[in-house]
Structure 1
Amino acid sequence: MALLEARGLKKIFGKLTALNGAELIVQPNEFHGLIGPNGSGKSTMMKCIAGAEVPTEGKVTFGGQDITAATPAERARAGMSLKFQITSVLPALTLYDNVLLALQGQTALTKLMFSRTRGLLHDKVMAMLEQFRLVDRAGEHASALSHGQQQWLEIAMALAPEPKLLLLDEPTGGMSLEERRVTGELLAPIKSRCSLVIVEHDLDFIRDICDRLTVLDQGAVLNSGTIAEIQSCPKVQEVYLRRA
């Protein structure tokens, strides 16, 4: 059974049809790239999956459950986590406290009030910071990090609750070539425990880490398949790859 199925998605904003019957199917432990020209509907698709937008038509299922009308919080509780383009770390807090808050977000308020969750979650916080090569800066404010490091911190925060699916919207935007390379290295180990849907304009980056790609054009799926299948598709070469 697929982990995520988005079928027949249509999203209309006034006179604009941002999605027109788009589909996306993601298997467990799969890295799936979502690509296409600017304005093809990638971000709208991600928002419909994450719950930031409700599709005008179509259905989204996650783990076999219909989540089309579920709130973002309900999707998070079901095991979905996301990171959009704009970094949303808390710059005035330490790296440690940013990850701690991400973990505490999965804890009931009553337990937060009457238990010492900081101590109980310490090992998990440090493990996430170590995984993303930030453990030596755990006590520093997030504002002291470079742009790339802030992106890594936010990915660590998104992964801290141990989701089944991570959604990343252009995570390498603004990064140097070296930071992009390292980001690929940091993401690779999570495949054993988490699927990934990633929107990315850096085709070299996305080809290196993804198992399958879905190509959108004008709100519809142009093609979906393995990296080799997409690279050899004449329609994709004409509509997307030659514009990149």
Structure 2
Amino acid sequence: MASVTLLSTKGLSRHFGGLRAVDGVDFEISAGEIHALIGPNGAGKTTFVSLLSGRIEPTAGSISFMGEDITADAAYQRVRKGIAYTFQITSIFPRLSVFDNVALAAQNTLQRRAGWLGWKSVDLARHALSALEKVGLADRADVKAGTLAYGHQRLLEVAMGLALAPKLMILDEPTQGLSDGEIDRFCHLVEAISKDTTILLIEHNMAVVMRLAQRITVLNGGRLLATGAPEDIRANAEVQAAYLGGS
């Protein structure tokens, strides 16, 4: 069965003066896949996903999501349409409880589905706890988020993303700072999430990329260098020279 394109870009560019951080990138991610985005430091990965999430505006090019042009949409509009983004640097409300962090995101989802008066607090609690259960934090629901260990804070941010009921979840460097055991558990989590949600994974840990991704896109110098299956990317001489070190 042919794959369905969930999100695509055409000629997407972002220039900062003379710096072409993203330079004419044509990109596609199919519904239901785990797609990894890799590249050396300075390749343009963070700028690219900031364009996808609406945090910055493109200099040129377009972005399409579910067949709709979203290039001019603000970040909150993209969230409402089903794009969730977890930040490279953990972004939580440290003084609020773990539950309240997720409930804020869950409330957004329920209001979107049922309107301001159509949702109930019991639905909010059920939705928030479901997201926490998926990441293994339901037993820490009443703990202040800022007291969690770093690895658990990363999981909390994923739960906040899941509470938005996204069609596409963008995970930016999710295993950064995690122990080997935490990375293994996180990989199992991503595999479980991907059964219902398309994943775009921005990751430096190549073992994680090769374990999870069905397809990989490589950026270098703001440009698309290669896209393909993991085995093809591993064997690509240009990728080896630019990112994997060559031989």
Q: What is the TM-score when the length of structure 2 is the normalising length?
A: 0.93
Q: Partners of 1:81 and 1:87 in 2: how far apart?
A: 14
1:225 match: 228
* Paired amino acid for 2:172: D
* Paired amino acid for 1:195: T
Q: How does 1:207-222 map to 2 (within 5 A)?
A: 207-222=210-225
1:238 aligns with 2:223: no
Which shifted more, 29-38 or 116-125? 116-125
Q: Partners of 2:129 and 2:43 in 1: how far apart?
A: 39
User: In structure 2, the residue corresponding to 1:53 is in which secondary structure?
Assistant: coil
Q: Partners of 2:164 and 2:54 in 1: how far apart?
A: 18
2:199 match: 196
Q: How does 1:1-244 map to 2 (within 5 A)?
A: 1-108=4-111, 117-242=120-245
Q: Partners of 2:106 and 2:137 in 1: how far apart?
A: 17
Give yes or no for contact 2:36–2:202 (8 Å, CA) kept in 1.
yes
* Paired amino acid for 2:130: A
* Paired amino acid for 1:191: S
Q: For residues 59-99 of structure 1, what are the alpha-carbon distances to aligned partners after superposition, in whole Å with 9 as ceiling and x for unaligned?
A: 10000000011111111111111111111111111111111
User: In structure 2, the residue corresponding to 1:172 is in which secondary structure?
Assistant: coil
Give yes or no for contact 1:184–1:205 (8 Å, CA) kept in 2.
yes
Structure-2 change in CA distance of 1:134 and 1:222 (3 Å): same
Which shifted more, 146-155 or 51-60? 51-60
Q: What is the TM-score when the length of structure 1 is the normalising length?
A: 0.94
Aligned length: 242
* Paired amino acid for 1:16: L
- Segments of structure 2 that go 5 or more residues without pairing to the other structure are none
Q: Partners of 2:103 and 2:120 in 1: how far apart?
A: 9
Q: Partners of 1:24 and 1:52 in 2: how far apart?
A: 18
Give yes or no for contact 2:111–2:118 (8 Å, CA) kept in 1.
no
Q: Post-superposition shift, 1:23?
A: 2.2
Identity percentage of aligned residues? 37
Give yes or no for contact 1:41–1:219 (8 Å, CA) kept in 2.
yes
* Paired amino acid for 1:169: D
User: In structure 2, the residue corresponding to 1:123 is in which secondary structure?
Assistant: helix
CA-atom RMSD, angstroms?
1.7
Q: Partners of 1:165 and 1:4 in 2: how far apart?
A: 9
Q: Post-superposition shift, 1:167?
A: 0.7
Q: Post-superposition shift, 1:115?
A: 6.9
